[in-house]
Chains A and B, each alone.
Chain A
Amino acid sequence: MKGEKISIMMDGKKYEALDGQTILQVSMQYGFDIPHVCYHPSLGSIETCDTCMVDVNGKIVRACSTPVSNDMNISVTSEKVLNIRKEATQRILHNHELYCTVCDNNNGDCALHNTVDQLGIEVQKYPFEPKPYPVDDSNPFYVYDPNQCILCGRCVEACQDVQVNETLSIDWSRERPRVIWDHDVPINESSCVSCGHCVTVCPVNALMEKTIIGRAGFLTGVEGKTKRKMIDIVKSVEPEITMGPVMAISNIESKLRKSRIKKTKTVCTYCGVGCSFEMWTNGREILKVQPQPESPANGISTCIKGKFGWDFVNSSERITSPLIRDGERFRKATWDEAIDLVVSRLSQIKEKYGGDAIEFIASSKGTNEEAYLMQKLARQVFGTNNVDNSSRFCQAPATTGLWRTVGYGGDAGSIQDIYNADLVIAVGTNTAESHPVLATRVKRAHKLNGQKLIVSDLRKHEMARRADIFLHPKPGTDLVWLSAVTKYIIDQGWENREFIRDRVNGFDDYVKSLKKFTLEFAEEITGIKKETLVKVAEYIRDAKRVSILWAMGVTQHQMGSDTSTAISNLLLVTGNYGRRGTGAYPLRGHNNVQGTSDFGAMNAYFPGYQSVTNDEIRKKFEKAWNCHIPEKPGLDNNTCLEGIMNGKIRAMYVIGEELVETGSDSNFIASQLETLDFLVVEDIFISETAKFADVILPACTSLEKEGTFVNTERRIQRIYRVMDPLPGTRPDWEIIQSIARGMGYDWDYRHPSDIMEEAASLSPIFSGVNYERLEGFKSLQWPVSKDGNDSPFLYEKEFNFPDGKAKFYPLSYTPPLSVDSEFDLHLNNGRVMEHFHEGNETYKSPGIKEIVPGTFLELSPELAEQRGLSTGDEVRVISKWGDARVTVLVTDRVSGNEMYMPMNSSGDSAINRLTSRLMDPTAHTPAYKELPVRIEKISGKRKQSPLPKSNPRNATPNPQVGVLVEEKWKRPDYEELTSG
């Protein structure tokens, strides 16, 4: 039975193993160093390289793919197996030219170099023969050199079955096989999304990041022809001197690179998945991003942004000096002058109007420690709860829905739970583009494990195309079909009665509230056929473990909180909480939108979601900080704009939030910022918001400081300083501390760990969090008890309410703002995979800009035909609140009168020039997705497609399972090394 203890013999000694482990896994566990080139812990056995052969009871087998069994007698180090491994390695060398000392991959982790060295191969048996294919460097980020490709298939496995983009394969039918993209096109004409999985796992230098080529070694930057001569000279004397001394020199050179290349663990600062990786740098130069199998959220996975989107860090547009408004321009100032001005102006405003006249906005890209200090600055120093962060613009309704029903405003489990679910329902989430790495887990489970997938969305995006059931409800009606399916399940008696009886309150009232949500009503409101909804209910009934993912397609509506609640209600009815593989998963949008809220940058909550209205809790903080804190919640970062209009807010301190372009109704926001008495903006660039500032403070990027982030799984992870701060810039926590000190408060935090220590001491859910427990790739998922025990999944025993029981929350339906005769088209909006929000960071990467140069307006073929529009035409999009100019892209991702516009733009094509001040009444999240518009064609010459030819959306992938090693074994030139 899998997992059962068994005993085996290895080289004459008895060892314990677990049933289900492979020989290679067991041998590595006990320190036997069996060579392996194609095997990778995150990919499993691939069986192409044959270097891991062992002798089992007289038969030669592959250690990577042979499971251990009781009484196995394994010879790991016999002469016979060593010779077979040497033969396998010699065959590989036929496909790969060894020039390690001048190779950019000679960094100690080259699987082939290490195998050749380990086996002591002195003379090449099968001379290297180049393959008849040119190097493909068409992709902006990486290069494929067929001559160095050893055909191990790691890249194919990673692309097909980990990332599941299904682009790469090996064409085994050729005389000299090679990796091909799609059906053999150049990389830049393929469906490759530049996620970098293939480059990350390549064991040699066949696939290399362009940023490291010529920069890793002391001699790798030598000019091509000279390098060739150097290689030829060494090759010419190799028969006499053998490979030994040459390998020794390259081993030395490899060790010397430790001084040249710094490898620092950090966490991605784009979406909320929380991918961690090593960043390889030489000074400020970023050589590459290398995720590790032990990266807890992502393993070896990254997306294009996390792997290649870091050019903004060294952008010449970074602000490197504080700036002070001086008439109609900014002038540079010293830090002292800028801080003094901020302190004196905020003091004056506090004195004249009170602390509640100032709004503090923490950055959802900043660290937890910085969020903590920002809310402490607001509450302790200025005596106001007017502090918030951009979760208000995205996932606050999801948090509300979870607070109402299960008690914690976070994901119920981990990404692994989503992977392990039998059924995943994705509502209003374009996961493959907005949370690409998390999507890979769903795509893999769906492709390989039989996981079922239901997608509800307006667009037929990648996840929708892959889904077993694709629901296309009318805009803003998800609550209705969710409630109807729930009612149908109850009507059929398919609810989990035992779970409801033992673990949930309020069932009867809830059932009554569902009365209206019949299948007929749902079909009328949503447009989804009754039969389809019945099928959805049956899928849920038949699945043992159901996880529901949702994002902005749900939350950015006036009914965002209620729809989120409906999702949680459905999970409670079916007992899909408290077990691995089940639960609710709002997918967080920013790298630390979860943590910034967790650590108290919220108008109604102290760190750890302790309510400001609770007298006991407030007193605890007042005592700790020696201050008075108002008992009423403050204004959030959306309603504070109305606060400016009403004269309540006179000043703002905004860290890292592009309020003008990401807030809803840019025109309104700009008009409000103009009226402020004082505005401080802390950022890395002069954002559109900063242009309204009186003082701009230049901040560090995440790579230039230390701290922690919390990802969508509630996982707290450390970031380390990859490089020194750009001269003139400072970490946010130091800047906030300077202001507090200027205001007369004796803050004395020497390191972010001091801040975390204080936050943990005041917040029960973080009580066991400290930097030692977060070292390296270690992480903790809150709540974390004092002894350091964390919570990879929630609600196993109880829900987060006083009696430990969850609550059903009755709901009703209010129709969203919809189209009318004047504004006859629905405009949906969101992200594209390549860019993040308005693109102030991602547009700094030339490669990303090449693939997606700007935004566009997706139009369905039928609408395009009806309006006489084609791809490349320019149109003016007009809403009640503004207008934007944008280029048309005709695509079947959208249908009928529904359009889509990615948000990666600023200026006159920015989406929020069109959006409104409508919002969710509870969470105050803007209803970005409720947007009726009309379009007008702008006459003029038709432009090229806004998506260039090289964009992967234009190509057709080539799906298969794995590398198809059997095709290699069928080749007439392949001789078996296994026996029996």
Chain B
Amino acid sequence: MSKMIENLSLEKEERMPDLDIVMKDVMSRMDDIMAFMETLSLIRSSGIMDLLRAILENREDVTRIVVDEASKKVNMNFIRNALSIYTFLSSIDPDVMRNFMKNAGESLTSAKMTKQTDGIGIMKLYSIIKQPGTFEAMRIMLKILSGLAPEEKKK
């Protein structure tokens, strides 16, 4: 006779001895394990772990999309122009660039402070040009402008 069992609360299983040994060892390092688990949990819950795993697992797709996108004309132009800017910037003596940027900054500030109503006559313009700083700047600008001319004209 097997009467219906309505009491469904279950007794805990008896642990096997070897499991107890393992558990004891684990318990002695509980703080470290917990800290490690928390960090792991954060990495996982923040999605970083999934993201890294996904990138690695799908590297072929990712690479293909990046390459496809990069090889579009508009993006190729962007990359090449970005590289030209890199070449340009890397060829300039940093001291010259530093002075140039410093002066440019000061000039902008000074220009802002000049009253817009002040007129500039021919004589005043001539005296500004004759100032050594201005003359040097104009020399550089003219050099740059001549550099922009078509190759054949340069010859």
- Tell me the A residues contacting B by CB distance below 8 Å: 122, 218-219, 221, 242, 244-245, 248, 251-252, 255-260, 321, 323, 325-326, 328-334, 670, 673-676, 679, 686, 688, 691-694
Contacts and interface: CB of A to CB of B under 8 A. Distances in A.
Contact of B11 (A332, A675, A691): A332
A670 B62 contact: no
B91 interface: no
B48 to A, nearest CB: 9
A260 B50 CA distance: 7
B74 A218 contact: no
A540 B5 CA distance: 55
B11 A260 contact: no
A219 B68 CA distance: 23
B153 interface: no
Interface centre among A218, A242, A333 (most CB of B within 10 A): A218
Contacts of A670: 4
Nearest to B53: A259
Contact of A260 (B3, B54, B72, B74): B54
A673 B2 contact: yes
A218 B54 contact: yes
Report, as a range, how many residues of chain B touch the other chain. 20 to 34
B1 A256 contact: no
B5 A218 contact: no
A10 to B, nearest CB: 26
B50 A218 contact: yes
B38 interface: no
B55 interface: yes
A679 B7 CA distance: 18
Contacts of A326: 11
B57 interface: yes
Interface in B53-89: 53-55, 57-58, 61-62, 65-66, 68-69, 72, 74-75
B114 interface: no
Given A242-B74, A331-B10, A679-B2, 20 more contacts: A248-B69, A252-B65, A255-B62, A256-B51, A256-B58, A256-B62, A258-B61, A259-B50, A259-B58, A260-B54, A321-B10, A326-B11, A328-B5, A330-B5, A332-B13, A333-B13, A334-B13, A686-B8, A693-B2, A694-B2
Contact of B65 (A255, A260, A331, A673): A255
A248 to B, nearest CB: 4
B12 A332 contact: yes
Contacts of A329: 5, 7-11
Contacts of B105: none
A244 B75 contact: yes
9 A-B pairs with least C-beta separation: A259-B54, A248-B69, A256-B54, A255-B61, A259-B57, A332-B13, A691-B4, A331-B11, A251-B65
B2 A256 contact: no
23 contacts: A221-B47, A245-B69, A245-B75, A248-B65, A248-B66, A255-B58, A256-B51, A257-B54, A258-B58, A258-B61, A259-B53, A321-B10, A321-B13, A329-B5, A329-B8, A329-B9, A330-B5, A330-B8, A332-B10, A333-B13, A674-B2, A691-B5, A692-B4
A692 B65 contact: no
A686 B57 CA distance: 41
Interface centre among B2, B10, B55, B69 (most CB of A within 10 A): B2
B6 interface: yes
B46 to A, nearest CB: 10
Nearest to B61: A255
Given A252-B65, A256-B62, A330-B8, A244 B74 contact: yes
Contacts of B55: 256
Nearest to B74: A244
Interface in B114-150: none
Contacts of A675: 1
A257 B75 CA distance: 25
Given A248-B66, A248-B69, A255-B58, A674 B50 contact: no
Nearest to A221: B47
Nearest to B60: A255
Nearest to A679: B2
A321 B55 CA distance: 38
Contacts of B13: 321, 332-334
Contacts of A694: 2
Contacts of B6: 691
Contact of A252 (B12, B53, B66): B66
Interface of B: 1-13, 47, 50-51, 53-55, 57-58, 61-62, 65-66, 68-69, 72, 74-75
Nearest to A256: B54
Contacts of B12: 332
Interface centre among A244, A245, A252, A323 (most CB of B within 10 A): A252
Contacts of B54: 218, 256-260
A306 B62 CA distance: 34
B149 to A, nearest CB: 30
Nearest to A219: B47
Contacts of A332: 10-13
Interface centre among A218, A221, A256, A693 (most CB of B within 10 A): A256
Contacts of A693: 2
A260 B57 CA distance: 10
A251 B50 CA distance: 17
A674 B1 contact: yes
Given A219-B47, A259-B57, A674 B3 contact: yes
A218 B51 contact: yes
A691 to B, nearest CB: 5
Contacts of A321: 10, 13
Contacts of A251: 65, 69
A258 B56 CA distance: 11
A256 B74 CA distance: 25
Contacts of B4: 670, 674, 688, 691-692
A260 B49 CA distance: 11
Contact of A330 (B10, B62, B66, B69): B10
B67 to A, nearest CB: 10
A725 to B, nearest CB: 19
B57 A258 contact: yes
B90 to A, nearest CB: 25
B10 A218 contact: no
Contacts of A221: 47
Contacts of A257: 54
A259 B47 CA distance: 12
Contacts of A218: 47, 50-51, 54
A185 B56 CA distance: 47
A101 B62 CA distance: 14
B60 to A, nearest CB: 9
Contacts of A325: 2, 5
Contacts of B2: 325, 673-674, 676, 679, 692-694
Contacts of B3: 328, 674, 692
A585 B74 CA distance: 62
Contacts of B8: 329-330, 686, 691
B24 to A, nearest CB: 21
A443 to B, nearest CB: 42
Nearest to B16: A334
Contacts of B47: 218-219, 221
Contacts of B69: 244-245, 248, 251
B5 to A, nearest CB: 5
A260 B52 CA distance: 11
Contacts of B51: 218, 256
A256 B63 CA distance: 11
Given A218-B54, A255-B65, A328 B7 contact: yes
A323 B7 CA distance: 13
Contacts of B11: 326, 329, 331-332
Contacts of B68: 248
A692 B2 CA distance: 6
A686 to B, nearest CB: 6
Contacts of B62: 252, 255-256
A330 B5 CA distance: 8
